[in-house]
Amino acid sequence: MSGTRNDMDVYKLHQSDIGFQTISKEEFEAGTHKNPPWYPETESGSPQEQSPYAVCPGCDNPIQIIGLYKLPKGVTRPYARHANHSVPGLADLDVERRACCCPYYQPRPHHPASRRARLDGVARKILTTLIEQFDRVVYLLEKDTGVRFSRQHLRKMLTTYRYWQGYLYTGATLTNVPWIFAYMSNAQSLFNQRVDADSDLGKAILAGVPDANIDARGHIVNRVHADGHTRFFQLSVCFIHHTQAMDADQGLIETMKMRVFSDTGLGLEKAPVLFEKVIAFDPAYFQNLIGLPADRAKRRPDLVAVARDVLGDLCDEA
Ligand SMILES: [Zn+2]
């Protein structure tokens, strides 16, 4: 156990950083050289000397690393907690943003309708990250879902995300951008999207929707029946049940559920669920993709352009 359930095991060094690091003395000292503002100059003997500062990856507020040099009693490893004051040169305290810093500040269930009060620095950065890294976002979602989305489909997801102001959702942080994007894009039709016919998802679609077929290139299309006719079918995917939990060993665990369903005309509550999968967020993977050197990164500027087209003007708003 590392203190209370509000403790976090990650930090970043600058507000401008998008990613985060797991707390380790070696890396923290290498990154700061034990200099201000992380190690403020204080009168000798001040307890602050033993607990340097950093920035919360979730809300850009100042945090304090506890136990880096001396573990408190009953604590087995260093952890970070939100500071209750500004740290000059590092980060100003913003209590409203801190209150929204789930899961690190107050882990709690988020109502899908709960939103930050305004487009603050974090929400703006979430938007910028989503736009500039949109090809990575898509890559991760395709890996997690087994669906290859068309640009048209992605544009619809982006438009829905914009309409629902997903970037203001209180469960959105700088580290869960790809998954909250999907979570806040509501239900979307899977028609003409690509799946592997031999995958569990592909098999579930073929078994559950008699009017659907998967063509040679993997597109979900109409089945041409023996009489030569095709019939309309409805097949959608949605992402539900975003959860955040602090695990004593693994730190923050975030998940959501992917659900594929077919509305057969009986109403949504009776729509059969064809496929369901729990998706565990992998922020470290996202961070690795962002950090790839340019010569090794396979970027998709066409996807970034779509995201910029749909969301770009929001970043300009005052
Ligand atoms: Zn925070």
pLDDT at 245: 85
CA of 153 to the centre of ligand 1 (A): 33
Mean per-residue pLDDT of the chain: 86
CA of 123 to the centre of ligand 1 (A): 13
Cα 311 to chain centroid, rounded: 17
CB 84 within 8 A of CB 62: no
CA of 27 to the centre of ligand 1 (A): 20
Q: Is this model's pTM higher than 0.85 or not?
A: no
* Of 61, 52, 1, the residue nearest 24 (C-alpha): 52
Q: Name the residue ranges covered by the structural domains of the chain.
A: 10-99, 121-316
What is the spatial distance between Cα 30 and Cα 300, in angstroms, rounded to a whole number? 34
CA of 101 to the centre of ligand 1 (A): 5
Q: Which two tokens stand for residue 139?
A: 């890559």
Query: Band of the pLDDT at 318, cuts 50, 70, 90?
Result: very low
**What is the number of other CB atoms lying within 10 angstroms of the CB of residue 193?**
19
Q: What's the rounded mean pLDDT across residues 57-79?
A: 86
CA of 304 to the centre of ligand 1 (A): 28
pLDDT in tens, 15-64: 988 788 889 888 888 888 878 888 876 555 444 447 899 999 888 999 99
CA of 13 to the centre of ligand 1 (A): 13
pLDDT in tens, 232-278: 998 999 888 888 888 878 888 999 999 898 877 666 566 788 999 99
Query: Band of the pLDDT at 199, cuts 50, 70, 90?
Result: very high
Tell me how far CA of residue 125 lies from CA of 173, 294, 312, in angstroms.
9, 21, 12
Percent of the chain residues past pLDDT 90, beyond the cut: 50
- Asked whether the predicted pLDDT for residue 109 surpasses 80, the reply is no
First to last CA, the chain: 43
| Of 35-44, 133-142, 160-169, 218-227, the least confident | 35-44
Query: Band of the pLDDT at 5, cuts 50, 70, 90?
Result: very low
pLDDT at 25: 84
CA of 79 to the centre of ligand 1 (A): 13
Q: What's the rounded mean pLDDT across residues 185-211?
A: 94
Q: What's the rounded mean pLDDT across residues 171-184?
A: 92
